[in-house]
Amino acid sequence: MTAPGSGSRASGRMKLWFEQILFPVPTLTLALSKGRIFDETLPLLAGAGIVPAEDPETSRRLIIGTNRPGVSIVIVRASDVPTYVQHGAADVGVAGKDVMLEHGGEGLYQPLDLEIARCRMVAATKRGFDWPGTVQRGARIRIATKYVKTAREHFAAKGMHVDLIKLYGSMELAPLAGLADAIVDLVSSGNTLKANDLVVVEDIAPISARLIVNPASLKLKRDTVQPLLDALAAAVAVRRSAAKVAS
Ligand code: ATP
Ligand code: MG
């Protein structure tokens, strides 16, 4: 004997199955990192009509649904975003320019500067370190950073000899603990540097978050991806003009 109502549930499932065959909902996966990138992307996504169903800060889920059928968000480490998009595990992602410089950007389309998560990539030393003198003498400089590739390319282009030390966090500690002469890191307000008696000695690059897209997704899911890109570009423009009015 079947439970009451199971017949109508079964026919409901059948109807859904037919609808999915006849009118497939296009799927779209977005890769975002928790924290700053997620928080600052949220209003732009809302401008594009996409609202996540959960907050990754409070939910343990790593795949989050949205108000739009077929559109989901995967929550990954900031430096893993380009990897997910490059391999097509996500169609679209948001990654800092710092992450993209380090990744190299191969196999990724970068159509839009989202103008969020703005900061600068700089070199910094302890206050009182003779940076110009050390550079002029051509002495080897020990530089601690998470951005080994970007730092290597930056100093090589200037013909400077540097020894790079890879770190995964708290770069500011390295000069204080005697691990390195300088660090390459991101700064926004400069408060962390100041609190640790460090000063900026070189500006390397302005940083903001970029929209990155898998080129195959753009081709094969153009009807879904292109309107999202257009809507995000419009949301960025609205935000920019609102900021201009406010200033
Ligand atoms: P993790 O904490 O997992 O090691 P992360 O430090 O890269 O990763 P976040 O601190 O959330 O993660 O930084 C994410 C992105 O935000 C960075 O890649 C960078 O583009 C940007 N960002 C980092 N620090 C700042 C800052 N102080 N101000 C503005 N944007 C920043
Ligand atoms: Mg961080």
Decide: 94 in ligand 1 pocket, CB within 6 A: no
Tokens of 13: 């499932």
Tokens of 166: 């890879």
What integer is the mean pLDDT of 124-138? 96
Decide: 188 in ligand 1 pocket, CB within 6 A: yes
Q: Which ligand is nearest to the CA of 146?
A: 1
Structure confidence at residue 1 as a pLDDT band (50, 70, 90) = very low
Decide: 36 in ligand 1 pocket, CB within 6 A: yes
Least Cα distance to 142 among 185, 174, 101, 187 occurs for 174
Query: If you measure from the C-alpha of residue 110 to the centroid of ligand 2, how many angstroms do you get, rounded to a whole number?
Result: 22
Which pTM value belongs to this model? Answer: 0.90
Calpha distance 146→194 (Å, rounded): 20
Query: If you measure from the C-alpha of residue 226 to the centroid of ligand 2, how many angstroms do you get, rounded to a whole number?
Result: 31
**Residue 240, pLDDT above cutoff 50:** yes
pLDDT in tens, 22-56: 777 789 999 999 999 999 999 999 999 999 999 99
pLDDT in tens, 162-176: 999 999 999 999 999
Q: What is the mean pLDDT of the chain?
A: 94
Decide: 198 in ligand 1 pocket, CB within 6 A: no
